[in-house]
């Protein structure tokens, strides 16, 4: 008998030639944990438009900042361009916990 059940059996009601099966489950049932998986969608990505957008971005503006701010500016600008062409999407997974 599987771990999730206390008792099971077969009952013959005598009214037909079909028997009834029954099972009593433990108090706790399987609970599902949900987890959201996020990823970038490249479904509608046009690579040439993406390359053109990267090439036409005003990267030279970063030169007016010091080194730390340049890095932050370039990262932010690149993130915005990537977000525009490959937006975040996700789906939900249901993960089974074992019965305690």
Give CA–CA dist 56/72, Å, rounded. 19
Q: How many residues does the chain have?
A: 100
pLDDT at residue number 77: 96
Residue that wins the pLDDT comparison between 80 and 3: 80
For the chain, percent of residues with pLDDT exceeding 90: 49
pLDDT at residue number 54: 95
**Residue 38 host element (H or E):** strand 32-40
Residue 27, helix vs strand vs coil: coil
* pLDDT exceeds cutoff 90 at 85: yes
pTM, two decimal places = 0.58
For the chain, percent of residues with pLDDT exceeding 70: 89
8 Å CB contact between 2 and 68: no
Residue that wins the pLDDT comparison between 56 and 11: 56
What value does the mean pLDDT of the chain take? 86
* pLDDT exceeds cutoff 70 at 72: yes
Domain ranges of the chain: 5-96
Q: What is the pLDDT of residues 50-68, one digit of tens each?
A: 999 999 999 999 999 999 8
């Amino acid at each position: 008998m599987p771990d999730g059940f206390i008792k099971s059996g077969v009952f013959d009601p005598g009214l037909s030639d079909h028997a009834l099966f029954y099972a009593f489950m433990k108090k706790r049932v399987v609970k599902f944990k949900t987890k959201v998986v996020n990823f970038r969608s490249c479904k509608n990505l046009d690579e040439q438009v993406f390359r053109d957008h990267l090439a036409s971005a005003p990267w030279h503006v970063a030169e007016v900042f010091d080194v730390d701010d340049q890095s932050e500016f370039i990262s932010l600008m690149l993130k915005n361009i990537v977000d525009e062409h490959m937006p975040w999407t996700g789906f939900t997974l249901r993960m089974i916990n074992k019965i305690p």
